[in-house]
Chains A and B, each alone.
Chain A
Amino acid sequence: MSVDRWIRRVAKPIVFAAALLPLSLLMWSAVHGELGADPLAKITHATGDWTLRFIVITLAITPVRRLTGWNWLISFRRMLGLYAFFYGSLHFLIYVIADRFAGLDFQNGIWVWSTARALAASIWEDIYKRPYITVGFIGLTAMAPLALTSTAGWIRRLGGRNWNRLHRLIYVTAVAGVIHYWWLVKADILHPAIYASLVAILLGFRLFAAIKRSRSHRQPVHARA
């Protein structure tokens, strides 16, 4: 089997399944009542954590590829990026249900039209009023166009250059995600600090590469002069 076929037939399905493992375990634990006294908080935190982890893994693909020359890694980037969006969307959905919906007062009953309106108002108010929610929502929103344009068709339609430019929005998501986490902890900043360092290293690598590139572009001009 060629490397290409091996990646497509074997490695990709394995990575696909492995990326679903955190969700499966979470569901298994939920069904067996093993998420502690406040399972909704646990699920919210776990899905948020996995969103950040997938963002970091996705951002690591290019630097690792450059440093090791393992170009085949690129075949996994889209899938991992989509998983970041998947876990991010789950995180948001659970927040909507467990935090916003469950916090409504249901004056006219639960299954009435006014509930939908009150829910929308409650989500919007939280996004508007609470900075850590605002920044988290920005991070998730920035991922949506990337998920939408992740197909080969969209790369063709946009052209590689524009597509690459658009997909730099993931940097916004990564920074927003870290700030979102940092702003929500009460006192223990250890975990957000770990994500912040990882994101700083991964974005720093790109900045460094860009500076080096622009220098090597300019050099011949200087030589001619």
Chain B
Amino acid sequence: MLLRKTPDIRSSEITDKKLYLRRREFIRAASVGAAAVAAGTLGVPQADAAPSWPRVKIPAFAKTSYGTGEKPNAYQDSTTYNNFYEFGTEKEDPSNNAGPLKTKPWTVKVDGLVAKPADYQLEDFIKPYALEERIYRMRCVERWSLVIPWVGFPLANILKTVQPTSAAKFVEFTTLFRPQEMPGQRRDVLRWPYVEGLRLDEAMNPLAIMAVGLYGEYLPNQNGAPMRLVVPWKYGFKGIKSIVRIRLTDRQPMNSWQLSAPSEYGFYSNVNPSVDHPRWSQARERRIGEFLMRPTLIFNGYGDQVASLYSGMDLKKNY
């Protein structure tokens, strides 16, 4: 005879198996959390276990031969070690503070010396251009560097569409000014909004791109969503983020860092190991993730494609 014995433990009291199997993970998360709270009070940064921002894959883009052989940095490096003063001046500030930035809808104003000035919706603006992936080295003026697989399109495509007039000599870019969502703009660390510029022939160079993504995904806010400039032969600060305005002009634009410290940051800001920053040498750089520094290359190693832009120019004077 079979006796039906009631279990001593009700099923509701039994820990869910999935949770049980994850108990170590939970303990680790809890102890890391506790330590992070302790560390936070002492000013030590906390590492995020998983990104707090949405990661959205870009459905279609072409691979290119740009950067073949380069080993990209880890996604975590490129998305948590950022200079984007609109969100704070510490490297981890942008990834911690950029979450609330709304990038939809996004309007890009194109004006100045162009045949077709207009306020473009981002989608309409980008749609005509085929996206491609390019792996570029990025050298910061602060002596560190990263290798980042960008997804974007040549800046020249935009310029061809909007048709600069014959008087246009320079392109000026402006970043969004929205202190409610960009807490760094509530203090006058730089003159807001952030402004950058290129000579028209620099902007037309095939290396100059507008990036809308990295690592095959749309740009996280801290990397300059929804659209930013990437000019890999120049110091990183030339790569203006979250662009809302593109203006063609006949005068050399005054970029924000030049305005802030004209003896230290010029208009051109080409990567150049033989022109020191007044306060430090630019001869070497630390690739993020490495200990020994590497020699910095003239034009960040892109000289064969851009050096001709500057033939006959004194690069020490035009820093």
Known: A187-B190, A188-B189. A38 touches B45 (CB 8 A): no
The answer on a CB contact under 8 Å between A103 and B284 is: yes
Contact between B144 and A35, CB atoms less than 8 A apart: no
A78 contacts chain B at the CB level, 8 A cutoff:
no
In the complex, what's the smallest C-beta–C-beta distance from B65 to chain A, in angstroms? Answer: 27
Q: How many B residues, CB 8 Å from partner?
A: 38
Which of B35, B42, B81, B292 is close to A38, meaning CB atoms less than 8 Å apart? B81
Contact between A187 and B85, CB atoms less than 8 A apart:
yes
Query: Is A36 in contact with B91, judged by CB distance below 8 angstroms?
Result: yes
Contacts A36-B80, A37-B80 given: A46-B44 contact, CB under 8 Å?
yes
Contact A34-B80, Cβ < 8 Å, known A102-B286, A102-B292, A188-B189:
no
B116 within 8 A of partner (CB): no
Contact status A34-B85, CB under 8 Å:
no
Determine whether the beta carbon of A38 is less than 8 Å from that of B43.
no
Q: Which of A18-26, A162-170, A212-220 contacts B (4 or more CB under 8 A)?
A: A18-26
Query: Which residue of chain A lies nearest to B38 when distances are taken between CB atoms in the complex?
Result: A25
Tell me whether A206 is interfacial, beta carbon within 8 Å.
no
Taking A102-B292, A102-B293, A187-B261 as contacts, is the C-beta distance between A34 and B286 under 8 angstroms? no
> B44 is contacted by which of A29, A106, A183 (Cβ under 8 Å)?
A29
CA distance A103 to B294 in the complex (A): 8
A46 touches B89 (CB 8 A): no
Check if B86 is an interface residue, CB within 8 A of chain A: no
A184 within 8 A of B: yes
Q: Which of A37, A105, A131 contacts B288 (CB 8 A)?
A: A37
Q: Select which of A42, A102, A188, A190 is within 8 A of B45 by beta carbon.
A: A42
B187 part of interface (Cβ distance < 8 Å): yes
Q: Which A residues are CB-close (under 8 A) to B187?
A: 188, 190
Q: In the A-B complex, list the 3 residue pairs whose CB atoms are closest, starting with the nearest.
A: A37-B81, A34-B47, A188-B89
